[in-house]
Structure 1
Amino acid sequence: MIGNDIVDLNTIKPNWNRTRFLDKVFTEKEQHIISISENQHQTAWLLWSMKEAAYKIYVQQFGKQFFNPKKLVCYLSSSTSGYITIENETYTTTSTISKDYIYTVASLNYSENYTSAVFKIENDSYITQNESLKRHFVEIVSKSEGLSINDLNIRKNIFGVPKLFHNDSKLPIQMSLTHCGNYCGYVYF
């Protein structure tokens, strides 16, 4: 299973460092990591992105949704890799950090071979982002799998997890989609 998340650093709210937000989202250790970081803004959103990407796998894996960001605990191995624990589960993460965005892919282990990409769109409307991302992803899969684009569609299950279908048959593709501001990302295998 796989999950991803992207944060557009240019469009997110700059007041991330409010005590109430930090206390609600990050453990004491995570807040310490943020506080000693050279770029606190970037580190806060890196940890957030790691949590979101791992949460997507957890929901796929167990069919349980919850809102308790502190239940997801981040550990950094380097500036762009780490892992998340949720209860007794561990998910590895790899992040790309640019001046414009942070993009994280989470997986059950580092050995999963996946295809992932980030692209920019000029419209930050949620609906436009969502439709552009789905269209782009379907085009990529259509080309790579040799399937007619007209026969592919994305449907969400009862937990909001997107699944790719060829006509009425669910394809055996693990996937995750994300968008924020002017950036979209997808990952699949």
Structure 2
Amino acid sequence: MIGNDIVDLQLAGIQSNWQRRGWLQKIFTLLEQKEIYNSSSPNLQVWKFWSMKEAAYKAHQRCFHHAPTFNPKKIECVSATSVCIEKYVYELATEFTKEYVYSIARSTGAYYYSEIFQAEINPREELKKLIRSSITKKDRLYFKKDINGIPNLYINGKCSKIPFSLTHHGDYSAYVMLS
């Protein structure tokens, strides 16, 4: 399975004061809090862990068709490249720039393709273009969320079961798809 999350660091700095009393304790485990406090860049570490947790949550929810119940303390970043949820471990790839933190969670060893965009570009349309390159031009593509809010791609009215994930925050968006 696959999941992704992006955090626009400028917007996160405006929208959330992670340093306020009790915020870290509600979101992060004791080990994660320790790593944040000991980090040379605590702000970046907070948003890296947040992005990793969100990406793993999306992959887990898609894999097990769970109803949306995001409880970040039950999702643990056990290393820089892995997250554990309910005894399931997801591999993580995280990249960061001055502008954003982007994480991709996947089942162990799964190959993927991903792209990041500025806000004016629609990642759904870009994903459709990518998929359209491998099917006929007549095929009708659209996205529809299931009862748990998980988006699925439909081709000619049938759910395609293509594993993908979409994310956006502030000035950035991205998609990831298993290859």
TM over 0.5: yes
TM-score normalised to structure 1 length: 0.87
TM-score normalised to structure 2 length: 0.91
Measured in 2, the distance between the counterparts of 1:54 and 1:87 equals 11
Partner of 1:137: 127
Partner of 2:165: 176
Relative distance call for 1:6 and 1:154 in structure 2 (3 A) is same
Partner of 1:125: none
Residue aligned with 2:124, SS: helix
How far the C-alpha of 1:75 sits from its partner, in A, is 1.9
How far the C-alpha of 1:46 sits from its partner, in A, is 0.3
How far the C-alpha of 1:182 sits from its partner, in A, is 0.5
Partner of 1:5: 5
Q: Structure 2 unaligned segments of length 5 or more: list them.
A: none
Which residue identity is paired with 1:98? Answer: T
Measured in 2, the distance between the counterparts of 1:149 and 1:55 equals 35
Please tell me whether the aligned partners of residues 7 and 101 of structure 2 are also in contact (alpha carbons under 8 angstroms): yes
Relative distance call for 1:149 and 1:116 in structure 2 (3 A) is farther
Relative distance call for 1:118 and 1:149 in structure 2 (3 A) is farther
1:60 aligned to which of 53, 59, 62: 62
Residue aligned with 2:111, SS: coil
Partner of 2:103: 104
How far the C-alpha of 1:76 sits from its partner, in A, is 2.2
Q: Structure 1 unaligned segments of length 5 or more: list them.
A: 123-128
Please tell me whether the aligned partners of residues 34 and 40 of structure 1 are also in contact (alpha carbons under 8 angstroms): yes
How far the C-alpha of 1:133 sits from its partner, in A, is 2.3
Partner of 1:73: 76
Counting only pairs closer than 5 Å after superposition, residues 1-189 of structure 1 correspond to structure 2 as 1-12=1-12, 13-64=15-66, 65-77=68-80, 82-109=81-108, 111-122=109-120, 132-143=122-133, 145-148=134-137, 151-189=140-178
Please tell me whether the aligned partners of residues 7 and 102 of structure 1 are also in contact (alpha carbons under 8 angstroms): yes
Measured in 2, the distance between the counterparts of 1:168 and 1:83 equals 36
Relative distance call for 1:147 and 1:36 in structure 2 (3 A) is farther
Relative distance call for 1:120 and 1:149 in structure 2 (3 A) is farther
Relative distance call for 1:14 and 1:161 in structure 2 (3 A) is closer
Which residue identity is paired with 1:156? Answer: K
**1:99-123: per-residue Cα shift (whole Å, max 9, x none)?**
10010000111x211111101125x
Please tell me whether the aligned partners of residues 139 and 149 of structure 1 are also in contact (alpha carbons under 8 angstroms): no
Paired residue total: 175
Which residue identity is paired with 1:23? Answer: Q
Please tell me whether the aligned partners of residues 175 and 186 of structure 1 are also in contact (alpha carbons under 8 angstroms): yes
Residue aligned with 1:177, SS: strand
How far the C-alpha of 1:180 sits from its partner, in A, is 0.3
